Structure 1
Amino acid sequence: MTVTKSAVPLADDDRVRKISALRQTMIRPELGSICGTVAVFLLFLFVAPDSGMFSLEGVMNWGTVAAQFAIIAVGACLLMIAGEFDLSLGSMIGFAGIVIALLSTQFGCPLWLAIVAAFAAALAIGALNGYLVIRTGLPSFIVTLASLFILRGLTIYAPITINGSTIIGGVKSAAQGDWLAPVFGGKVLGGLFAWLAERGMVGTFKAGAKAGLPVVDGIPMLMVWAVLLVVLAHLLLTRTAFGNWIFAAGGDAGAARNVGVPVNRVKILMFMLSAFCATVLAACQVLEFGSAAADRGLFKEFEAVIAVVIGGTLLTGGYGTVVGAALGAVIFGVVQQGLFFAGVESSLFRVFLGVILLVAVVLNTYIRRLITGER
């Protein structure tokens, strides 16, 4: 008797591990940041309902703060997924800003050239950090910690030596007529907000020289850069072969090398991306304030890491999401401005950072155990 293939029921293969729908949801890296974002919005809707925090002006306030965190979180996220850290990120913000301000105001360089020079210097330093990590085998924590102190020291020394002060002004004058300045310091959709103001859909100034003009006169390029970087990084990570290389480099570098992944090149490029993102924020800040200060970027390296960890990226590398990191940045922006709107002492923001970091690490450890089956 011939037994057909369809007549024999297929037994479950014990080697194939089935994952329930609930478990699949639980191990999504951005789950924690989604829950955190919802919880934070609900909290401030309850404690500060009439503060104007969720008016257009309020949204622009906390949205601008969130954009600052998001820009640096993008670079930190991809680097952490690749299995490395960059503690020099905050110092890079101050360093790049001082380079732009000194070259444009003290040395007479066109602002566009000063910005390009700052990006070139930052990318070179990022590549050097990556190269040292690869060549020496030292932890990136140590290499970039050294860079943190070197850059911060140079950022203080250079302006004091050249200008006698750690604050360099005059950038707004240097930006007049410069073709690159609007890319970092301009605003978009100004006409739309003016049109909305004419129809009473956007608040306007009631008195003074700006009477009748919209309170919100456009979306700053800082926010545009944040959205652009988040979208591009997400597409890179999830839609390209290079994105797979980033995950592989952080997950198991040895195995990745064995299948042809250029792990060293990937890691160096991610260090350069981190430096690039820091310089984008520096350029936006310099053009917004019209000056550079040596203490800009202080503690930003830690805030970026916390935003990324909140977003679900594992400290061990090989797992994470840019969308989660962006939501972590939104949480930071909402909480920082929400404390102000609620009339709470702003220093408690640091307390919040510490608590949420601890909670996020515990949650991520639990998720890692779900993925790997560890006890």
Structure 2
Amino acid sequence: MGDASPTPKPAPAGPAVARDERVKDISRLRKMMIRPELGAITGTILVFVYFFLVARDTGMFGPEGIMNWSTVSAQFMILAVGACLLMIAGEFDLSIGSMIGFSGIVIALLSVSLGWPVWAAIIAAFVLSLLIGAANGYLVIKTGLPSFIVTLASLYILRGLTIFIAISTTRKTIIGGVKEAAAGDWLAPVFGGKILGGLFTWLADIGVVAKFTAGTRAGQPVIDGVPMLMVWAIGLVIFGHILLTRTQFGNWIFAAGGDAQAARYVGVPVARVKILMFVFTAFTATVFATCQVMEFGSAAADRGLLKEFEAIISVVIGGALLTGGYGSVIGAALGALIFGVVQQGLFFAGVESSLFRVFLGVILLLAVVLNTYIRRLITGER
């Protein structure tokens, strides 16, 4: 008989592993509470419910109404993406509004007054704006001054310079004729054109979209396409979200705004990150300005007034902290959507338009209070 193998005995149970008290379990509810988009999502739902109840019979949620407030929201959205990334990096840019007026005047002046091709004027406006954005970032980094002060100075310098250039060259602050100059240009439609025209023609044929009943456009759809302004807004939101959440550079943005000194210790190029964010903010302002010039066919030296504050408010509504290091591009986009819906919703509801500013103040205060509470949840402060 062969020797039977001994029956293995179960190994003695080891000592119970003590739970590390430094590791905190985060409940699902708390995870939801610290999402930067929470306030914007809640606000968006409330705004849509309110205006659906008070303005649903006014055409606000018909095809034309939707296109109306979507276009306005897209304007805020383009600026909010740049402002959001810069604020997460821990900085502000108050020169956004002046950059809009400056870029528009450069395009109109070069194309209409000096006879440049519109595509060359657009490229020149972008180059100048990006250089100014880089200069803002460089001054902030090298001087150590708060970006609030540096860009506040830029706001006044750019606005004054824009008005001076317009008056000294054309004797006026509004330069028209851009649409005529842009006829046949290859780059102008990228900012001032429309897409999906065939879709809206079909929708008009089946009765979903109304048609003009008189005038030179009789029989044509009232909505003849999606403006490139909206395409730029959606594209920038997607780009900003992917950059922030799916790339190493996005981690650097959070690190630069959260604790710049600690970020430097682990190899994050904080100076380069912040300067590039100033450049990107200038880029979004110039995109907005170019779309606006192509739409109206003119440029005005005073355009963009207060746009810097509207962009910052959109970002704050979207959940970004004023101290940097925390925020969301999606949240900023929802903040911009709230702006557009409320601004146009008050018109559709027949409410005095001046109350829009009252709404901005109230919602900004509520957003800051909510964001402060979220920061305390994250950091454990009391």
* TM-score > 0.5, shorter chain as reference: yes
Render the CA deviation track for 1:221-273: whole Å, top value 9, x for unaligned: 00000000000010000000000000000001111111111000000000000
Matched, 1:350 2:357: yes
The count of aligned residue pairs is 374
User: Secondary structure, in 3 states, of the residue corresponding to 2:302?
Assistant: coil
Mapped pair 1:269 → 2:276: yes
Letter in structure 2 aligned against 1:48:
A
Quote how far apart the aligned CAs of 1:200 are. Answer: 1.7
Distance 2:256 2:214 in 1: 58
CA-CA distance at 1:140 after TM superposition: 0.2
Which of 255, 258, 270 is matched with 1:251 structurally? 258
2-11 vs 166-175, which moves further: 2-11
Indicate yes or no: 2:218 matched with 1:194. no
Counterparts in 2 of 1:1-375, with a 5 A limit?
Answer: 7-375=14-382
How far off is 1:201 after superposition?
2.2
Give the deviation of 1:205 after TM superposition: 1.1
Give the aligned residue type for 1:184. F
SS at structure 2 position matched to 1:194: helix
Taking the aligned partners of 1:333 and 1:5, their CA distance within structure 2 comes to 67
- The alignment's C-alpha RMSD in Å is 1.2
Distance (Å, rounded) in 2 between the aligned partners of 1:209 and 1:8:
87
Distance 1:137 1:46, change over 3 A: same
Deviations 1:260-304 (A, max 9, x none): 110000000000000000000000000000000111100000000
Partners of 1:125 and 1:252 in 2: how far apart?
26
The runs of 5 or more residues in structure 1 that have no matched partner are: none
Q: Which amino acid aligns with 1:159?
A: A
Secondary structure of the residue aligned to 2:305 is coil
The residue type equivalent to 1:54 in the other structure is F
Shift of 1:6: 5.4
CA apart distance, 1:7: 4.4
Name the aligned partner's letter for residue 346 of structure 2. L
Report the residue type matching 1:284 in the other structure: C
Q: Name the CA distance, whole Å, in 2 between partners of 1:216 and 1:14.
A: 61
SS at match of 2:156: helix
Give, as a single letter, the amino acid of the residue that structure 2 aligns with 1:372. Answer: T
Aligned partner letter, 1:15: R
Deviations 1:172-220 (A, max 9, x none): 0110010000000000000111122122222111222211111110000
Alpha carbons of structure 1 residues 6 and 79: separation in structure 2 relative to 1, 3 Å: farther
What secondary structure, in the 3-state scheme, does the structure 2 residue paired with 1:16 have? coil
In structure 1, distance between residues paired with 2:14 and 2:338: 56
Q: Which has the larger radius of gyration?
A: 2
3-state secondary structure, aligned to 1:292: strand
Q: How big is the shift at 1:3? A: 9.8
TM superposition shift of 1:9: 3.2
Unmatched tracts of structure 2, length 5 or more: 1-8
Distance 2:147 2:12 in 1: 56
Please give the per-residue CA displacement for 1:48-98, whole angstroms capped at 9, x wherever unaligned. 120100111001100000000000000000000000000001110011001
Give the SS at the match of 1:50: helix
- What is the CA–CA distance in structure 2 between the aligned matches of 1:316 and 1:217, rounded to whole Å? 44
User: Whole-Å Cα distance in 1 between the matches of residues 155 and 126 of structure 2?
Assistant: 17
SS in structure 2 at match of 1:295: coil
Amino acid at match of 2:104: G
Q: State the match for 2:6 in structure 1.
A: none
Letter paired with 1:47: V
Distance in 2 between the 1:357 and 1:137 partners? 28
Match of 2:4 in 1: none
Q: Cα distance, 1:10 vs. partner?
A: 2.9
